[in-house]
Structure 1
Amino acid sequence: MSGQTRDAIVEIRGLSKHYGEGHTRVDALRDLDLTVRAGEVVALLGPSGSGKTTLLNIIGCIVEPTVGNIRLDGEEVYDNRWLRGDLRRLRLDKIGFIFQFHNLLPFLNARDNVAVVLRLAGKSGPEAQRRATELLDYLEVGSRKDSMPALLSGGEAQRVAIARALANSPRIILADEPTAALDSKRAGIVMDLLRKLAAEHDACIIAVTHDEKIYDRFDRLFHLRDGRLDGAEGDQK
């Protein structure tokens, strides 16, 4: 992939995050620079406590950095302070989240689990239902749209969760251990699907993972150790 010719979707400069002060201070992230471009699928690797989830949550505008600059999809959103008053709207507009456990609402069927995000974004009921059905069909799980989460297989539930993440057409998709609960075959299918989504939707996908069996599905691997990135460009795949 000619990544250097694609738009930069996530740009981070001089990012640090610490908790506490003085002798109790913990540096979760230290002076990070990171650029991820449209169409890229990249991984954040590292041992527990290395800062992976903190970084993912900062990109997702859930955790505030201590210092640094963040630009998302061409918009500067953080420069030593949040530049947006409504972070909830920012997340709805720009970011989709996929988790290790699908976190589907157990009292809603598959289609309504996707449609609820669209309703939160202000779409009408019929429009939300139509878009949800289109996404489930696109992800080849449309035949299960009326099924409750408890009746879905692990792979089906994860596809519904991916549909939910795509509901508002975000260009940034953040995934926290998206294949940890899946066997090797289903994990490979999910990663191939994420690669397809990144290419077809001109989006970028950033995943935290310990799942070595999917490393070859990423364009670049970024290693976090003690809050620092080893190599600004990551390991090219």
Structure 2
Amino acid sequence: MAEPPVVEVRRISKHFGEGPARVDALREVSLDVFPGTVVGLRGPSGSGKSTLLNVIGCILEPSSGAMRLNGELVYDGKWLRADLRGLRLEKIGFIFQSHNLLPFLNAWENIAVARILADAGPAQAKGRALELLTYLGIERRQDAMPGELSGGEAQRVAIARALANDPRIILADEPTAALDSPRAAAVMDLLRKVATERRTAVIVVTHDEKIFDRFDHIYALRDGALEPTRASAA
């Protein structure tokens, strides 16, 4: 039996302002993302990519529509969960163009803090951090400070942090924009590994054409509307 989608977006719209000043950032977007898949969102600036990512990440409230994450209906004309912070900690990992590592914590501490925010004890949080650093092949850098890491190493730590609470959904906003081609390919290969081995749904906003061959599906956003542009086995 086929697995159900991890992300189900149904006719989601988002507008800002009213009357003549109204801007429709998303227009009845519907999207399914299944376990083990890596999906790309592309489009010009202002097309709605980051808005859609922030809606799926439960950061930005839609204006209308419905959304189910990992089987739970979380939005249907309104948020159905009072604790959105807890929802994000439970279901979603975030990766950004800038790795956003805390400069006063070393690599494993940057990962462990995400587990501590989810109420794990210090020993359990450190164990999880070291496990993920090993999983991503960067355990030798566990004590390095962010300023001592290369761009690719810092993004690996950021990926590990996103995985700290074992989410079923990974949202990445331009994760390879600051990397050269080999490091960008390495980061996307890691996201593919995570998707395949952990049955995670990975959604990546990108302008980076050098990684387009790493996606199962690529969708274009144009004026807030979503259209598929390619579907293939990566």
State the SS of the aligned residue for 2:82.
Answer: coil
Shift, 1:14, TM fit: 1.0
Listed one character per residue, the Cα deviations across residues 47-69 of structure 1 (whole Å, up to 9, x for unaligned) are: 00000000000000000000000
State the SS of the aligned residue for 2:6.
Answer: strand
Does 2:95 align with 1:98?
yes
Listed one character per residue, the Cα deviations across residues 24-76 of structure 1 (whole Å, up to 9, x for unaligned) are: 00000001110000001000010000000000000000000000000000000
Equivalent positions of 1:25-36 (< 5 A) are 25-36=22-33
- Aligned CA RMSD, in angstroms, stands at 0.9
| Structure 2 equivalent of residue 226 of structure 1 | 223
Please give the TM-score of this superposition, normalised by the length of structure 2: 0.98
Please give the TM-score of this superposition, normalised by the length of structure 1: 0.97
Unaligned runs of 5+ in 1: none
State the SS of the aligned residue for 1:5.
Answer: coil
Does 2:51 align with 1:50?
no
| Structure 1 equivalent of residue 117 of structure 2 | 120
Does 2:198 align with 1:236?
no
* Cα distance in 2, alignment partners of residues 71 and 120 from structure 1: 24
| Structure 2 equivalent of residue 154 of structure 1 | 151
The correspondence for 1:173, drawn from 170, 175, 189, is: 170
* Cα distance in 2, alignment partners of residues 181 and 224 from structure 1: 22
Does 2:177 align with 1:184?
no
Does 2:6 align with 1:39?
no
The correspondence for 1:74, drawn from 37, 52, 71, is: 71
* Cα distance in 1, alignment partners of residues 111 and 62 from structure 2: 30
One-letter identity of the residue aligned with 2:187:
V
* Cα distance in 1, alignment partners of residues 186 and 119 from structure 2: 32
Moved over 6 A (4+): none
* Cα distance in 2, alignment partners of residues 50 and 214 from structure 1: 20
Does 2:100 align with 1:88?
no
Does 2:204 align with 1:207?
yes
| Structure 2 equivalent of residue 131 of structure 1 | 128
Shift, 1:5, TM fit: 2.5
State the SS of the aligned residue for 1:8.
Answer: coil
| Structure 1 equivalent of residue 140 of structure 2 | 143
Listed one character per residue, the Cα deviations across residues 178-199 of structure 1 (whole Å, up to 9, x for unaligned) are: 1001100010011011001001
* Cα distance in 2, alignment partners of residues 218 and 102 from structure 1: 21
| Structure 2 equivalent of residue 108 of structure 1 | 105
One-letter identity of the residue aligned with 2:44:
P
Aligned residue pairs: how many? 232
Shift, 1:235, TM fit: 1.7
* Cα distance in 2, alignment partners of residues 6 and 228 from structure 1: 26
The correspondence for 1:14, drawn from 11, 16, 21, is: 11
Shift, 1:149, TM fit: 0.3
One-letter identity of the residue aligned with 2:231:
Q
* Cα distance in 1, alignment partners of residues 121 and 180 from structure 2: 37
One-letter identity of the residue aligned with 2:111:
V
Shift, 1:122, TM fit: 0.4
State the SS of the aligned residue for 1:181.
Answer: coil
* Cα distance in 2, alignment partners of residues 6 and 179 from structure 1: 29
Shift, 1:7, TM fit: 2.4
